Amino acid sequence: MDIISENRCFGGVQGVYKHPSKATGGDMTFGLFLPEEAEDHPVPVLWYLSGLTCSHENAMVKAGAQAWAAEQGIALVFPDTSPRGPGVADDDAYDLGQGAGFYVNATENPWAPHFRMWDYVADELPRLITGDFNIDEGRQSITGHSMGGHGALTLAMSLPGRYRSVSAFSPICHPTDSEWGRKQLRAYLGDEAAAWAAHDATLLMRENGLDIPLLVDQGTSDQFLDLLMPEALAEAVNARRVPANLRLQKGYDHSYFFVSTFIEDHVNFHAEALYE
């Protein structure tokens, strides 16, 4: 693993690291914030999954999460959103290909050789960070924004026992019924809609429910609101009678101004579960 950078940050260290990935078949870059407590003992970790067009850097720089994570003694992981490089398939559209991995394992060409972001985020990167850094493997939570919110919700509902809590900012809630989802799931997983269901938070909620704390924030002025379909997730939560805090934030859009406004709430929400 190569150290790209390490900077002192709120008493801890914000690092950026690159490593060869078996899951994606190339080099991957991620950000990791370690609070000061990690110098003495393993600390709990909060995963932050980013959205379309983003890399590991967007939330790391714009969300302002490190201040609140340092206050709570929590590590933050910022994975990339897709494999990258000259040998990796791409598309001219911003919502497919590099920067748009959708946190699935692609089965269709030309994506299948590298686009295995589910395996990367669910298996490979957790093993790496818990093996090489002072991270408590037994205390993990997950959050994300937009496409990353979709990833956070589907991972949490598909890996029972892995995370202690899950939250999301303006997540893609029902991708099998949205143009932010149907296009990408068809490209990565093929034409059979049955293969898509495992990556739809609304369908997973209807089928399995959720047994860990859930917080979702959605701006009412989000320019992509019709594509995100938060009402579908809310209906599924109510149908399963799952305790959840689903909040509509008046006047907020889809940007990191929205995320940074409410990131303190999310970090504190996860800290309560991680230190329970």
Model pLDDT for residues 60-99, shown as the tens digit of each residue: 999 999 999 999 999 999 999 999 999 999 999 999 999 9
* Secondary structure class of 73 (helix, strand, coil): coil
**Cβ count near 174 (within 10 Å):** 24
Mark whether 41 is an active-site residue: no
Q: How confident is the model at residue 18 (pLDDT cuts 50, 70, 90)?
A: very high
Q: How many residues does the chain have?
A: 276
The whole-number pLDDT of residue 120 equals 98
Q: How confident is the model at residue 259 (pLDDT cuts 50, 70, 90)?
A: very high
**In this structure, are strands 75-79 and 26-34 parallel, antiparallel, or unpaired?**
antiparallel
Mark whether 199 is an active-site residue: no
Task: Read off the amino acid at residue 120.
Answer: Y
Q: Which of 137, 112, 101, 110 is nearest to 25 (CA)?
A: 112
The whole-number pLDDT of residue 55 equals 98
Please state, for a pLDDT cut of 70, what percent of the chain lies above it.
100
The rounded distance, in Å, linking the Cα atoms of 12 and 33 is: 7
Question: What are the boundaries of each domain within the chain?
Answer: 2-275
List the structure tokens of 148: 């990353």
Q: What is the CATH number of domain 2-275?
A: 3.40.50.1820
Mark whether 145 is an active-site residue: no
pLDDT tens for residues 180-237? Answer: 999 999 999 999 989 999 999 999 999 999 999 999 999 999 999 999 999 999 999 9
The predicted model gives 248-262 an average pLDDT of: 98
Q: How confident is the model at residue 21 (pLDDT cuts 50, 70, 90)?
A: very high
The rounded distance, in Å, linking the Cα atoms of 114 and 67 is: 34
Give CA angle at 269 (145, 131), nearest 5°: 75
pLDDT tens for residues 105-132? Answer: 999 999 999 999 999 999 999 999 999 9
What are the strands of the beta sheet with 43-49, ordered from one edge?
Answer: 2-9, 12-21, 26-34, 75-79, 43-49, 135-144, 166-169, 214-219, 245-249
Catalytic residue among 146, 167, 170, 178: 146
Return the DSSP state at 124.
I
Phi, psi of 136, deg, nearest 5 = -85, 105
The rounded distance, in Å, linking the Cα atoms of 276 and 272 is: 6
Catalytic residue among 56, 114, 174, 254: 254
pLDDT tens for residues 7-17? Answer: 999 999 999 99
Whole-prediction pTM: 0.98
The whole-number pLDDT of residue 191 equals 95
Cβ pair 267, 46 in contact under 8 A:
yes
The whole-number pLDDT of residue 129 equals 97
How high does pLDDT run on average in the chain?
Answer: 97
Going from the C-alpha of 216 to that of each of 44, 142, 185, 234, the distances in angstroms are 21, 12, 23, 10
Catalytic residue among 80, 95, 200, 222: 222
Return the DSSP state at 206.
H
